[in-house]
Amino acid sequence: MTAAAIARRAGPPVAGVALLLAVWEVGVRLFDVPTYTLPPPTDVAGAFGEVKGVLPGHLAATTQIAGSGLAIGVGTGVLVAATLSAVPWLRRSMQPLLVASQSVPSVVLAPILVSFLGFGTLPRLIVVALVVFFPVAVAAIDGLASADDDLVGLVATMGASRWHTLWWIRIPHAAGPFFSGVRIAAAYAMFGAIVAEWMGAERGLGVYFNRVRASYRMDRVLVAIVVIAVTSIVLYSTVSTIGRLATPWLRAADRPTTTTTTTTTQTPDKDHR
């Protein structure tokens, strides 16, 4: 991608963020909003300089939990989706349970897991994996089930086994919905990690957030929010990049096709007398 293309893509978001920060700064100072309620961006930037020495450790701990939980949740979601797609009656019986599993908020589930498993890493990984699991499983199930029936029937008549049909037809067709689900799950992974750290952890952005909130340092609270948001965006962008690299056939299908038509001009025959 050229520098001009990068500028065209990054220009509007950067301009939007700059405008938002300018309005925020001017509005807070113009209306004399107390800094303990909503500090201006310049105060938040100053607070970032004050805590930049402790943030990397908390960020590394949360990112490790979020990334590991994301990998576990994605792997489990793929395994469940493949099993349910291969056994239709099992899918009909288990899919309501998948939906029901998401009716319990992670804020409620985390302390239960902590009470059973203690304050170690395992309960936090389980919380993140459960948050990630549902969108991945649902997207993969829908993608596998929506493959072209005519194409599936064609390869079956040519002697392809169920495994070959799954590998050559259903999985490539499900790649697009699957990576869409993984992108959503990547955004949820940081949220799940933060919630898990609220319930019990020694390090992490969730721990840092609780500490600065208890001290009524709203500027440092906003620092934590900005770091969490930026990390979520980076994780989402990383998954998007992996998805584009892993599915080149989808990018090829999105490219505009140009057809060259040849126009033949025929000269009418002239009557020669």
pLDDT recorded at residue 62: 92
Is 90 contained in some domain? yes
Q: Please check whether residue 24 lies inside any domain of the structure.
A: no
pTM, 2 dp: 0.78
Burial of 106 (0-12, 13-18, 19+ CB in 10 A): buried
CA distance 82 to 166: 9
Predicted local confidence at residue 272, as pLDDT: 46
Whether the predicted pLDDT of 179 surpasses 80: yes
What 3 state SS string does 108-160 have? Answer: HHHHHHHHHHCCCHHHHHHHHHHHHHHHHHHHHHHHHHCCCHHHHHHHHHCCC
Our count of domains for the chain comes to 1
Give the per-residue pLDDT at 7. Answer: 67
Share of residues in the chain with pLDDT > 70 (%):
87
* Residue 227 included in any domain: yes
Judge contact between 34 and 180, C-beta under 8 A. no
At 263 the pLDDT is 43
Span 204-261, pLDDT tens digits: 888 898 888 888 889 999 999 999 999 999 999 998 899 888 888 776 655 555 444 4
The one-letter code for the residue type at 56 is: P
Query: Looking at residue 255, what is its pLDDT?
Result: 59
Closest CA relative to residue 141, chosen from 97, 110, 193, 195: 97
145: domain range? Answer: 38-248
Which whole number is the average pLDDT over 259-271?
A: 46
CATH for 149: 1.10.3720.10
According to the model, what pLDDT value does residue 1 have?
58
For residue 255, tell me if it sits in a domain: no
